[in-house]
Amino acid sequence: MRWKRTIQLLDVHCEGEIGKVAIGGVPKIPGNTIAEQLQWLNTDPKGEELRRFLVLEPRGAPIGSVNLLLPAKHPDADAGFIILQPDQAHASSGSNSICVTTALLESGIVEMKEPETVVTLDTAAGLVRATATCRDGRCEKVRLTMVPSFVHELDVQIDTPHWGRIKLDLCYGGIFYALVDVGQVNLTIEKANAASLVQAGMILKDLINRAIPVVHPEIPAISGVAYVMFRDIDADGAVRTCTTMWPGRADRSPCGTGSSANLATLHARGKAKVGDIFKSRSIIGSEFEVGLQAVTEVAGKPAIIPTITGRGFTFGLSQVALDPFDPMVNGFAMTDVWGPSAGDI
């Protein structure tokens, strides 16, 4: 083989959302912290090349993410990771944290101890504590203690050309979200509406980021609304979610960081207290348990410590390679598969 680069990927999904984990061949990423490495991936041409190589066609696909497994920078962490998606590298994700934890334990990179193994993950957003229930050599479920989540602003109003004035909550759950009650765009959260929800989410995300700049008060590398998450309440009281992801797809999981951000809104409105546990349900019906563990502060802002519990499953092992004569090192995306926004990639 004349391959110039090879990266080994363990295929994992969390409640339906694919989060492949790069467990071998990951190049050295500059930076003294995971946040600095995130910044490099999002600003340096070599970082962009690596991301595009892994997530875009012909090697990648629109579904899921690729998680770069990295040496931990924090002395208390077992491993670090950064999430690669078509738009950029991201700081934090609940479903991807569960995928990474499952990969670390079931591959033997971190020793599995039964009935429970604690894995500490170093992310650009901070440390995430993953408590895995283990039996017979497999990771049955993972409970994440997430980074502090907080409300940036409740009941923000923005004028749109399609739906008139929309009300939303701007919140942080590891990345920034715009949380929108789905009835405002005249849709319901169900599989048949996935394409329409994604199209609405892309329009709203663009409008919001143009109008309202947001930056984490302590981590400047985390800025801008990453996703629009539509929400509703099911008949049994579960929160129904659909997180819309650029350039044009819906998160298959209930979305851990989005559920954390939504929990911060419930606490801010007096609808959630320490010890409460809620059910968060995805567009395909998969579920997370979302708990409010503690209250805290971030740069003087009231914040909460959420927990997210879900399941990860390994389903394959692959190796991605680059032929040095391949002219498509930077990948590509087509609107027929990736959605209308793919024209901007």
| Residues assigned a catalytic role | 93, 255
List the binding residues.
85, 94-95, 251, 256-257
Q: Cβ(313)–Cβ(21) under 8 Å?
A: no
Token digits of residue 126: 């901070």
88: nearest Cα among 59, 66, 61, 63: 66
> Strands, DSSP E only, in 88-185?
89-90, 116-123, 126-135, 138-145, 149-160, 164-172, 176-181
| CB neighbours of residue 71 within 10 Å | 12
Per the CB < 8 A criterion, the answer to whether 98 and 111 are in contact is: no
- Binding-site residues from annotation for substrate: 85, 94-95, 251, 256-257
Q: Tell me which amino acid residue 72 is.
A: A
Task: Supply angle C-alpha 313, 316, 320, rounded to 5.
Answer: 130
Secondary structure (3-state) at 104: helix
Cβ neighbours for 207, distance < 8 A, ≥ 6 positions apart? 158, 160
**CA–CA separation, 23 and 173 (whole Å):** 26
- The DSSP code sequence of 3-19 is -SEEEEEEEEEETTEEE
Query: Rounded to an integer, what distance in angstroms lies between the CA atom of residue 63 and that of residue 249?
Result: 7
